[in-house]
Structure 1
Amino acid sequence: MFSLGSAQAIVYLVLAICAFVVQVWALVDCVRRRSDAFVAAGKLTKQRWTIILAVATAIGFLSLPGGFLGALGFLNIAAFVAAAVYHVDVKPALQRVQGGGRGTSNGPYGPW
């Protein structure tokens, strides 16, 4: 039999897993970037972002259902925000500096 409690548990599980995937993705991307690109983009250093994202990923792992912190606790929300800031602010700036991003809006025949 399906109950509201089990539906909520499924939603919490899916959200926690999605948050954890975003955190891991941000950490892996950060580790793969050049250190000098962070400074050239005017962002925190690579070492600081790596520490922030490593802590965020650890919190995300511990926040998975059945983990130490429980699903979607306050710390996991803060950890997700840190990873989201990396994805929407730092990563595009790094791509512009390194020249390997989708920062241009060129179509097949030139700019739109």
Structure 2
Amino acid sequence: MLLFDYLNPFWWLAMAIIGFKLFALVDAALRRDDAYRAADKKTKGFWLIVLGLALGLDLLLGAYVLSNFLTLIGLVAAIVYMVDVRPAIKQLTDGRGGGRRNIGPYGPW
């Protein structure tokens, strides 16, 4: 029975969505709390709750893109985090959560 799951393209799509949401949640958890405020974004706790609920609901109910509207809402939240929040925080923290190093008023030096 599991062999047929691997042949189903919707199963692969569901696994990709769950993996994407998991990556967004882990990334949000590893970023510093003050970087969210410095980037003028919602707090770290807000993003952890939203992304955690999105991933948790997919794991409980299944990540069915065509029939589960909650999957799409959670996917949009993860995309917003990855496209808007993550680059702003990454730019401020210089990548991995460290402080701003070698940044002058006009850029890096």
Fold match, TM over 0.5? yes
In structure 2, give the amino acid aligned to 1:78: I
Look up the match of 2:102: none
Asked if residue 93 in structure 1 is aligned to residue 91 in structure 2, the reply is no
Find the counterpart in structure 1 of residue 71 from structure 2. Answer: 76
SS across alignment from 1:71? coil
Alignment of 1:33-72 (within 5 A): 33-64=31-62, 71-72=64-65
Q: Distance in 2 between matches of 1:26 and 1:41?
A: 17
How large is the Cα RMSD of the aligned pairs?
A: 1.9
Stretches of structure 2 lacking an aligned partner (at least 5 in a row): 97-109
Give the match's secondary structure for 1:42.
coil
State the AA in 1 paired with 2:88. Answer: A
**How far off is 1:14 after superposition?**
0.9
TM-score (norm 2): 0.75
The CA deviation at 1:62 is 2.5
- After TM superposition, the score normalised by the length of structure 1 is 0.73
* Unaligned segments of structure 1, at least 5 residues: 1-5, 65-69, 102-112
Report the Cα offset of residue 12 of structure 1: 1.3
Amino acid at match of 1:21: G
Return the alpha-carbon distance in structure 1 between the equivalents of residues 28 and 39 of structure 2. 13
Whether 2:20 is the aligned partner of 1:22: answer yes
Native 8 Å contact 1:63 1:76 kept in 2: no
Residue number in structure 1 paired with 2:107 = none
